Structure 1
Amino acid sequence: MSYNRREFLQQLGFGALQLGVLSAIPASSWAAAPSYGQLVRSSPETQGISAKGILDFVNAVEAEKLNLHSLMVLRQGKVVAEGWWAPYNPDLRHTLYSLSKSFTSTAIGLAVAEGKLKVDDKVVSFFPEDKPATISANLAAMRVKDLLTMSTGHDKDTTGSVRGGDSKNWVKSFLALPVEHEPGTFFVYNSGATYMLSAIIQKLTGQTLLEYLKPRLFDPLVIEGMDWEVDPNGINTGGWGLRLKTEDIAKFGQLYLQKGEWNGKQLLPAAWVEEATRSHIQSKGGSRPKEENDWLQGYGYQFWRCRNDAYRGDGAYGQYCIVLPREDMVVAITSETGNMQAILDHVWNHILKSVKSTRVPSDKEEVAQLQKKLTTLALPLTAGKPAADLAAKLKEKSYTIADNSLNIKKVSFDFDKGWCLFRLQDDKGEHLMVNGLGNWKVGLTDLSTMPLKLVLTPVPGEKRTKVACNGAWVDDSTFEMTWRFIETAHYETVQCKFEGDNVQIEFKRSLAILGNTKDARPVLKGKASA
C-alpha cells in the first residue's frame, strides 16, 4: 500500500522535524521584544556573562553525554541564553519529577500567608477521619514543617508503601506507617511527605494543589497548559508529577530570586522565600565529600542548598531550577541523566565562572559560535543506515505475535521515502508510530507512557501524548526505532530482528539503558501472517 506522504502524516497528527529546526528560539531574539508573558531577552555580554562560558557548558555536557533536553540562563532578570536539543522544543512541557516539590512548598507558603495554617500545625490535626486508632508520640508530634524539611521521622521514604499498598487512601496509608525517629531530628528524602502537603492544601481549600496555585502563582507568571499527576482519589501527587515548559521553570526561579515579587506585586511573602530557601536540616546524598557535593549543603522547605551560596529545586534525572542570588542569576535545565552532580559541576565550572560584575566586551566570534550552537542543538538519531534491501520485502507484510503479557497481537512495517510506519495491535486496538529515517517525525500517540516512568501515576484525562520517532537499520536484518515521549523525560528503543518469516521485537526503556538493567517487558516473537 502506498501513501501520499503529506496527507498521511497530517492524518496521523505527525509532522516532519528536521534536526535543529525547533531546537531553540533564534538567537536574533536576543534583541527582540518579548511576546506576552515571555521573559525579556538580552545578550550574555550585555548582562555581564561571556558567551564562551555558556558555550563551554554546552560543549561539556554534550561531551559527557549527559542528555540535556533544554537550557535557559537568566541574568539580571533577562534570558541571555536558551536552547533545546531537538526533538525537544520551547513549546513542550516537560516532566519535572521532584522539582514539583518546590511548587508544592510554594503553595504552603501562600496558604500560610492567607492564614489557612501554620507550619507548626500538627499533621494529624488535618485528617481526623484518617488517623490510626492508636497515635504514636512521634506521629502526634509531626508538624507541617517536618513535612516541608523531609524530617518527618520516618526511617525511609514512604512513597513506595503509600503508593504500592492495597488502600487507595494514600493519606490513611501514610498516617498508618511507623514513625521511627523524633520528627525534626532525622532527614530522609521522602516524596510521601510532599504528597501530604498537597493533601493538606486540598483538605483546607477544597481545591487541588494545581487549582489552588493557578490564580496565585501560575496566572500572574503567565504559566499556561500545566498539568499534574494524581493519586487514586484525585489529589495531586505533590512530590512529583507537575509538567511545565522550560521558561516556566525559569520564571519560577526568577520569582524566588526577586523574593516573591513579580511585576511590582508581592505574590509570595519575602520572609517565606528566605525561610524556604535556607538550610533547616543537614541533608544526605551523593558520594563525594561535603565541599564537593551539592546534596550535602542542607535542605530547606523542599529546596536544596547548593555550593556557591545558591539553592535549587531539582527532580530525578536532571530537572533543575537553580537560583544564584549573589550573581543575580537563574538556570533552568531539563534532561535525562544518570549523573545529576555532573550537570551542577558544569554550571559552576563554566556558567558561574563566566559571570562578571559589569558588561563584558563582546567577542563577535564567540557570540557567533554560541548562537550557532544554541540554534542547532540535537539529540542523536538512532545509529545506523536509513535503508536496507529488506525494507521493500516488508511492505504489506504483517506478523502475528505469540501470546505475551503485553497482549500485543500483531505488528507490521511499511517503509516509504524518508519514513517507516510501524503498526502495533493489542487488546486496546491499533497504535501507529511514524519513524523518520534520518530525521525525527513528531506527532501524537495513544500508546501508554506508563512503562517508561519512574512513578506510575496518571495525568488526569490524558489519552494521547506527544512523541518523536526515528529509525535506522542497525544491520541488514535489524531495524531499530527510537521513540522519545517528548513531554516526559524518557524514551525507548524498539529493536526488530528479522530472520526468514520470523521477527523478534525487544523494548528497552531509557531508565533501563541508563541503569544498564533489563527491561521488564517480554521479548516478542512473531511469524509472518499467511
Structure 2
Amino acid sequence: MVLRHGQVIAEGTWSPYDEEHPHILNSLSKSFTSTAIGLAIEEGKLSLDDAVISFFPEYMTEEIEKNMANLKVRHLLSMSTGHDEDTTPYLRRSNDWVREFLSIPIVHEPGTHFLYNTGATYMLSAILTKVTGMKLLDYLQPRLFEPLGMSDITTTTCPKGIHFGGAGMSVKIEDIAKFGLLYLQKGVWEGKQIIPSHWVEEATSKQISNGNDVNNDWAQGYGYQFWRCRHGAYRGDGAFGQYCIVMPEQDAVVAITAGVMDMGDILNLVWIHLLPGMTEPIEGQQADLDQKLASLTYEPPRLLTTSPNIYKWSGKQFEAQANDAGITALSFRFGEENAAFVFQDSEGEHEIQIGYGEWNESEYSIAGQKVKAAVSGIWRNRNTFEMTVRLLGTPFCDTWTCDFINGGVRINVSRNIWTVPGLSDMALVPTITGYIQ
C-alpha cells in the first residue's frame, strides 16, 4: 500500500492473501512499543533517564545492581544496552524473562555500542506494564488503535503474560499504513495530536550510529525502535519483509508485508522503482497500473490432479511416527474436485482442505497453534502428492511432499524461508519436520 499526500495511491495483494487478514509484523512490532513508551513518558509515568533496575526492586541482588547500574530506558530504546549478543534466546529458556534479562552480563558501557537486541524491547513492554498496570496492547487501545480505527490486533506474550513488545504483533496492511501516516504527520490524526510531535522527531532521528556504509539501509543510524534509511527516509521493519517506510521528503508512506529472505531486495526495489515516480510522474499509466494491481496472484501449482493409485490411499488411516507437529494419526481424502488431509493430535481431529488448481482455505490447529492456510495440491507422479500450504498472515509457505511407499506415506516439509530456533524475529508457526509413516 502506497500513500502520497495523505491518500492511498496504489495497493495490491497477491491472491490467496487478502488485505483484511492481519499479518505478523515480527520486529515492526518494536515501533509500536516505542510509541507506547513515548505516550507513557508524556503522561509522566517514566522518563528516558530512569534506571531500568528502578522498576524492578523485587529482583535486586548485589550482582544485578552492579551489572545494570548504568542502564537507562533510553538505552533500551536505542539498542545500546551494552550487551554483546541479542538477549532473546536466553529469555526464551526461562519462565521469568525480566529476571533473566537483568542477569545477562553487560559488556560495554550503555549508550556506546549498538546491538540489535529484541530482549531490550521486551523490557520496555515490561516496564510499561509495571508503571501503567496495563499490558502493551491494552495501553495502546484507547491512545492509538481506537483513534486510528485499527482493530483485530493481537500479540504474543511471555510466560508471565507480558506482551512480547519486540515481535509477535499482527495487524492489517492498512493499519501499518495508518501508523506510518501518523508519524509522517508528526503525530497528528484528523486534526488531533495523538502522539507528541517531539517524540516523533526523537524516535525517528539518529540516536546512535550503526555503521557508516552510505549504500546500506541498515547503517544509516538507529532511533528509538526505528531505523534510519537512505534518501532521508525512516522505517519500522520486521523479519522477512514487513515494512512501514516513511518518506518525509516525498510526503509518502509505503507499507509492505512479505515473505523473503533478503530484506534489502525490497528496499532496493522501493528506491529504484517507487522513489523516482514520486518526483517524475509518468502520465497516462493509471489504467495499466490498475490492471496490474487487480491481477496480482500466486498461481496454484498445476500438474496432475489425480493418480491411478488414489484408491489405495484415499481414506486409509496411518499411524504417525514421532514428529515435531505432534501428529499421532492421519489420512487423505482424494475426491474428483478437491482433497483433504485429516490428522489427529492431543487436541483432537483437524482437517485441511486442498484445492486442485485453486486455493482452498482452512482454519485448523497444529502443535497447539491456530493456523489459517490456503492449500493447493498436485500429483507429481502416481505415488507422490505435493501440497503447497500458504500460511496466511505469515511470511511462510510450506511444501509438503507426500510419498506413498510400501503401504505407508512419508511426508517431508520444506519452508520458503529458513528460521533459526530461539531467535526473536520469528513468527513461530509450527510445521512438520522429518517424516511420518
Structure 1, 96-105 or 391-400: larger mean CA deviation: 391-400
Q: Deviations over 1:225-284 (max 9, x none)?
A: 101110001100000011000000000000000000000000111111000000011115
The residue that corresponds to 1:151 in the other structure is: 80
- The unaligned stretches of length 5 or more in structure 2 are 422-430
- The unaligned stretches of length 5 or more in structure 1 are 1-71, 451-463, 526-530
The change in CA–CA distance for 1:255 and 1:497 in structure 2 (over 3 A counts) is same
Query: For 1:468, which of 361, 365, 374 is the aligned residue?
Result: 374
The residue that corresponds to 1:316 in the other structure is: 239
Instruction: Judge conservation of contact 1:138–1:181 (CA < 8 Å) in 2.
Output: no
Residue pairs, 1:185-200, within 5 angstroms: 185-200=112-127
Query: For 1:246, which of 155, 165, 173 is the aligned residue?
Result: 173
Structure 1, 193-202 or 129-138: larger mean CA deviation: 129-138
Structure 1 residue 81 and structure 2 residue 10: aligned?
yes
SS at structure 2 position matched to 1:125: helix
Query: For 1:501, which of 402, 407, 411 is the aligned residue?
Result: 407
The residue that corresponds to 2:226 in the other structure is: 303
SS at structure 2 position matched to 1:362: coil
Amino acid at match of 1:437: Y
Cα distance, 1:394 vs. partner?
2.6
Identity of aligned residues (%): 47
Q: Deviations over 1:112-159 (max 9, x none)?
A: 111111101110001100233324555111110000000001111100
The residue that corresponds to 2:259 in the other structure is: 336
Structure 1 residue 231 and structure 2 residue 120: aligned?
no
Amino acid at match of 2:142: P
Structure 1, 385-394 or 212-221: larger mean CA deviation: 385-394
Structure 1 residue 273 and structure 2 residue 203: aligned?
no
Q: Which has the higher contact order (CA 8 A, sep 6+)?
A: 1
In 2, Cα distance between the equivalents of 1:512 and 1:248?
A: 27
Structure 1 residue 139 and structure 2 residue 65: aligned?
no
Query: For 2:47, which of 103, 118, 127 is the aligned residue?
Result: 118
Residue pairs, 1:200-239, within 5 angstroms: 200-239=127-166
In 2, Cα distance between the equivalents of 1:302 and 1:161?
A: 21
Q: Deviations over 1:75-106 (max 9, x none)?
A: 00000000111111011000000000000000
In 1, Cα distance between the equivalents of 2:175 and 2:387?
A: 31
Instruction: Judge conservation of contact 1:132–1:176 (CA < 8 Å) in 2.
Output: no
Residue pairs, 1:436-475, within 5 angstroms: 436-448=355-367, 464-475=370-381
Number of equivalences: 428
Query: For 1:170, which of 84, 97, 103 is the aligned residue?
Result: 97
SS at structure 1 position matched to 2:256: strand
SS at structure 1 position matched to 2:180: helix
Amino acid at match of 1:399: F
In 1, Cα distance between the equivalents of 2:225 and 2:343?
A: 42
In 1, Cα distance between the equivalents of 2:243 and 2:302?
A: 29
Q: Deviations over 1:46-79 (max 9, x none)?
A: xxxxxxxxxxxxxxxxxxxxxxxxxx00000000
CA RMSD, 1 decimal? 2.0
Amino acid at match of 1:354: G
The change in CA–CA distance for 1:468 and 1:253 in structure 2 (over 3 A counts) is same
Query: For 1:521, which of 425, 433, 436 is the aligned residue?
Result: 433
Instruction: Judge conservation of contact 1:383–1:474 (CA < 8 Å) in 2.
Output: no
Q: Deviations over 1:488-524 (max 9, x none)?
A: 2223221110134222111223333999xxx882211
The change in CA–CA distance for 1:314 and 1:207 in structure 2 (over 3 A counts) is same
Structure 1 residue 486 and structure 2 residue 415: aligned?
no
The residue that corresponds to 1:18 in the other structure is: none
Amino acid at match of 2:382: D
In 1, Cα distance between the equivalents of 2:214 and 2:166?
A: 28
Query: For 1:362, which of 265, 283, 307 is the aligned residue?
Result: 283
Residue pairs, 1:350-429, within 5 angstroms: 350-356=273-279, 360=281, 362-363=283-284, 366-382=285-301, 384-404=303-323, 406-429=325-348
The residue that corresponds to 2:59 in the other structure is: 130
Instruction: Judge conservation of contact 1:277–1:311 (CA < 8 Å) in 2.
Output: yes
SS at structure 2 position matched to 1:150: coil
The residue that corresponds to 2:427 in the other structure is: none
Instruction: Judge conservation of contact 2:300–2:357 (CA < 8 Å) in 1.
Output: yes
In 1, Cα distance between the equivalents of 2:419 and 2:151?
A: 33
Amino acid at match of 2:158: D
The change in CA–CA distance for 1:404 and 1:486 in structure 2 (over 3 A counts) is closer
Instruction: Judge conservation of contact 1:150–1:188 (CA < 8 Å) in 2.
Output: yes
The residue that corresponds to 1:97 in the other structure is: 26
Q: TM-score, normalised by structure 1?
A: 0.77
Instruction: Judge conservation of contact 1:382–1:480 (CA < 8 Å) in 2.
Output: no
SS at structure 2 position matched to 1:171: helix
Amino acid at match of 2:19: P
Instruction: List 4+ stretches of structure 1 deviating above 6 A.
Output: none
Q: Deviations over 1:300-327 (max 9, x none)?
A: 0000000000000000010000000000
Instruction: Judge conservation of contact 2:259–2:394 (CA < 8 Å) in 1.
Output: no
Amino acid at match of 1:430: E
Q: Deviations over 1:4-51 (max 9, x none)?
A: xxxxxxxxxxxxxxxxxxxxxxxxxxxxxxxxxxxxxxxxxxxxxxxx
